[in-house]
Amino acid sequence: MARFFAAPHNISDHSILLSPEDSEHIKVLRLRPEELFTICNGNGIDYVCRLGKFNDGTVAEIVSQHPSLGEPTIKCRVYIAYSKGERLDYAVQKSVELGASSIILFKSNRCVSIPNNIPKKVERLQRVALETAKQCGRGMIPTVTDGEDFDSVVNDSVKDCQLSILFYEIEDNLHIKQVLEKHFPPLRKSEDHVTTTVSMITGPEGGFEPAEMRLAQTKGIHIVSLGPRILRSETAPVVALATVMYHTGNL
Domains and CATH numbers, the chain: 3-67 (2.40.240.20), 75-247 (3.40.1280.10)
Per-residue tens of pLDDT for the chain, all 251 residues:
889 999 999 999 899 998 888 888 888 888 888 889 999 999 999 999 998 776 666 889 999 999 998 899 899 999 999 998 899 999 999 999 999 999 999 999 999 999 999 999 999 999 999 999 999 999 999 999 999 999 999 999 999 999 999 999 888 889 999 999 988 876 544 455 556 899 999 999 999 999 999 999 999 999 999 999 999 999 999 999 999 999 998 98
Contacts 24+ apart (CB under 8 A), 215-220: 215/150, 215/151, 215/154, 216/154, 216/166, 219/154, 219/155, 219/157, 219/158, 219/164, 220/158, 220/164
SS3 state of residue 115 = coil
Q: What are phi and psi of 82, to 5 degrees?
A: -60, 140
Amino acid at 121: K
Amino acid at 81: A
Please tell me the pTM assigned to this model: 0.88
